[in-house]
Amino acid sequence: MTKPQGIAVLGATGSVGCNTLDVIARHPERYRVVALTAYRQLDKLFELALRFHPEYLAVADADAAASLRARLADAGLRAEVMHGPGALAQIAALPEVDAVMAAIVGAAGLPSALAAARAGKRILLANKESLVVAGRLFMDAARASGSALLPVDSEHSAIFQSLPAGYAGDAAAAGVRKIILTASGGPFRSRAAAELAHVTPDDACRHPNWSMGRKISVDSATLMNKGLEVIEARWLFNVQPGQIDVVVHPQSVIHSMVQYRDGSVMAQLGSPDMRTPIACALAWPERIDAGVAPLDFFSMGDLTFEKPDLERFPCLKLAFDALEAGGDAPAVLNAANEVAVAAFLAGKLRFVDIPRVVEATLAGVSCAASDDLDGLLSRDGEARRFAEGKVAAC
Ligand code: NAD
Ligand code: MG
């Protein structure tokens, strides 16, 4: 029997992290949890440590690490507890780690995902913000080290599965005409524009089909999530912005499609359950049980399709524009969006002001291209400060 693969789950306490551990727990003969990381959810991380016995854990700061160490010692568990952003990158590159699940939310996940790419690890990429902020740098690093990059975002997993086996980024040679990203339309798909000024964070986080972390739930409600996914697709599949279409498909059964030159459209279908793309990325090219109920065609009802409404949901257009503008514009877009979404979730900004903060930040911060991680992170900081000023002025 072959040795189980060593897995590091970065962002283990989150929605994707927990779904990943659910799949891993079904296959102890294939996967071994080497490391788990979390930010501040110590209770949850402690419970996961009791269950999965990782050799390494990482948390936000020294105090959290000391408290976790004490609890582990009381429970008779031995694990090395690390802390701070540097610890995440260190964990991603550990020799015991074969595959890294990059499931931290936001640009905070970039340095560790990039460290995994530089170390040649198999990367299971949920953290789409890594590619939005540093698409070229990230793809170059993965290529140079020979990292296998497996998308976890359900749309990108669908596209990955709908492209020819071994697709290496040459869309023309593969006969690809369009990448078609499906979008559920989020909880406000049929809300009147006037009502959007009054929606609350809980309204925005009540997604019709998917259960996810709060930041991505708000992104789904503004359609910024789809915008970030357009940028993610550009880099993952090496296509031009004009080759990416967005189609609203409220049932979330078709997870995305590839349209070919000859008129064929390849699609991947499934229940809206993240364990499917997670299992696909973990085991690819094999298929493993993910605990997901099979799709029942007789109970699913109609599959419908609509054009996205860019008037009510300007974030999608802002993302396309940032991708067209190039340079650091996507990084600026992402930073401003993170600031605006956090302010909305904290009750300090209206839902309809999220695109306004993003647009103003794109106009107010230089988007000249940075050529390394430090440059991108400093641009990210600059955009955050600018966006915070805009939030305060709203
Ligand atoms: P979440 O909020 O549920 O979990 C985020 C995880 O990241 C937690 O473990 C948290 O402790 C950790 N974290 C947060 N801030 C951190 C920081 N500054 N430093 C270190 N760790 C930090 O988020 P999620 O919904 O699981 O999403 C994770 C990523 O996956 C996001 O990039 C999201 O866009 C992407 N994604 C999520 C889903 C989904 O179904 N939830 C689907 C597709 C893609
Ligand atoms: Mg998605």
Mutate to test the pocket of ligand 1, among 9, 10, 13, 15 (most ligand atoms within 8 A of CB): 15
Shortest-distance Cα residue to atom 25 of ligand 1: 213
CA 122–ligand 1 middle distance (angstroms): 19
| Phi, psi for residue 390 in degrees, rounded to 5 | -65, -40
Largest CA distance in the chain: 64
Instruction: State the residue for tokens 């890294």.
Output: 100
At residue 211, the pLDDT reads 84
Q: What is the ipTM of this complex?
A: 0.99
The span from the CA of 136 to the CA of 232, in Å, is: 11
The predicted-structure confidence for 174-216, as pLDDT tens digits, reads as follows: 999 999 999 999 999 999 999 999 999 999 999 888 789 999 9
Average pLDDT (221-233) is 98
The predicted-structure confidence for 328-366, as pLDDT tens digits, reads as follows: 999 999 999 999 999 999 999 999 999 999 999 999 999
At residue 2, the pLDDT reads 81
Average pLDDT, the chain: 97
Instruction: State the residue for tokens 């029997």.
Output: 1
At residue 349, the pLDDT reads 98
20 annotated as belonging to a binding site for a ligand: no
Is it the case that residue 11 has pLDDT exceeding 60? yes
Is it the case that residue 311 has pLDDT exceeding 60? yes
* pLDDT level of residue 30 (50, 70, 90 thresholds): very high
127 annotated as belonging to a binding site for a ligand: yes
What is the token pair recorded at 346? 């904290």
Instruction: State the residue for tokens 């000023």.
Output: 389
Residues near ion ligand 2 (Cβ under 5 Å): 153-155
At residue 210, the pLDDT reads 79
Average pLDDT (241-268) is 98
CA 62–ligand 2 middle distance (angstroms): 34
Tell me which ligand sits closest to the C-alpha of residue 255.
Answer: 2
Is it the case that residue 1 has pLDDT exceeding 70? no
| 0.95 exceeded by pTM | yes
Average pLDDT (276-291) is 98
The predicted-structure confidence for 104-117, as pLDDT tens digits, reads as follows: 999 999 999 999 99
* 234 in Cβ contact with 178 (< 8 Å): no
At residue 280, the pLDDT reads 98
Distances (CA, A) of 13 to 9, 68, 74, 160: 9, 14, 21, 26
Mutate to test the pocket of ligand 1, among 37, 59, 104, 219 (most ligand atoms within 8 A of CB): 104
What is the token pair recorded at 135? 């698409």
The span from the CA of 362 to the CA of 58, in Å, is: 34
Each domain of the chain, given as residue ranges in start order, spans 5-147
Q: At what angle do helices 353-364 and 373-393 cross, to 10 degrees?
A: 130
What is the token pair recorded at 4? 């189980």
What whole-number percentage of the chain has pLDDT above 70? 100
- Residue 32's SS3 state is strand
Ramachandran assignment for 84, one of left (phi > 0), alpha (psi -120 to 50 degrees), beta (any other): left
CA 360–ligand 2 middle distance (angstroms): 26
Average pLDDT (265-282) is 97
What whole-number percentage of the chain has pLDDT above 90? 97
Is 5-147 assigned to CATH 2.70.210.12?
Answer: no
Shortest-distance Cα residue to atom 4 of ligand 1: 14
The alpha-carbon radius of gyration of the chain (Å, integer) is: 20
Which ligand 1 atom is nearest residue 12's CA? Answer: 9
CA-closest candidate to residue 120, choices 138, 153, 88, 142: 142
Lining residues, ligand 1, CB within 6 Å: 11-17, 38-39, 41, 103-105, 108, 126-129, 153, 210, 212-213, 215-216, 274
The span from the CA of 305 to the CA of 325, in Å, is: 29
The predicted-structure confidence for 114-136, as pLDDT tens digits, reads as follows: 999 999 999 999 999 999 999 99
